[in-house]
Amino acid sequence: MKVVRTKAELRAELAPARTTGQVIGLVPTMGALHGGHLALLAAARERSDVVVMSLFVNPAQFGPGEDLDAYPRDEDRDAELAALEGVDLLWIPDADEIYPDGFATSVEVANSFTGVLEGDPSHRGPSHFRGVTTVVAKLFNSVQPDVAYFGRKDAQQALVIERMTRDLDFPVEIVVLPTVREDDGLAEEAARGGETSTDALVETARNELRNSGIEPEYVEARAAEDLSPVAELNGRPVLVAVAARVGRARLIDNVLINPKTEA
């Protein structure tokens, strides 16, 4: 595995693969690798001739109340795990490489996608996703991958990136891998039981969390394809998303309910 830190080094290393038409797969990360990242890397390894993993803690997606300096960093551990998963090229730029002096451009997806759930001003706010889409656009332009891999555990982020990629005609296939979990989800079980009211599904999930001693920051049901509000399961896939603090950690998760398959 080769480690590079500048765009010039990155492009030089990828030039032979690009010239010969090899498939380049990208897995963007902020480090602190866990099982979800490793699943993305394994999928990229299976489908790509060259696997690139970016490791960049993006300051632009941290709000004023969020502690950028406290974000876990262990470059050596992340590099070791990446190598074990078959990564060919590990790109570790610093902030000045991504946001050089005088940087004045951002990429923004409509508020209907980025101003709800995590992007609601009472939570992380829409500037969070502006930071995400701007850095991902830069990663796409720098790596120029054929395929990029994201996890559905952060379903809103994946949807926003899919929309940005489509709307701006990035020649990148977006692969979103499902979250691996047991088939005993809270709202999912209620849907299988015939419940169609999303308010009832949300309340089921909220009560179960509270019974476990967790007070959710939010539990919401949204249309999975565009995050619009939805009152009933009416044949469209519905995303039930949750955020909660467990100890010092703020966790997000979601479950996708497809009424056609929950009978």
The catalytic site residues sit at 37
Q: Scanning the structure block, which residue is given the tokens 């262990």?
A: 74
Structure token digits, residue 226: 């565009």
CA dihedral angle for residue 110, residue 111, residue 112, residue 117, rounded to 10 degrees: 130
Task: Tell me the backbone φ, ψ of residue 196, rounded to 5 degrees.
Answer: -115, -15
* Helix (H) / strand (E) containing 260: none
Collapse the DSSP code of 91 into the 3-class scheme (helix H, G, I; strand E, B; otherwise coil) and give the result. strand
Structure token digits, residue 39: 């699943």
Q: Scanning the structure block, which residue is given the tokens 């992340």?
A: 78
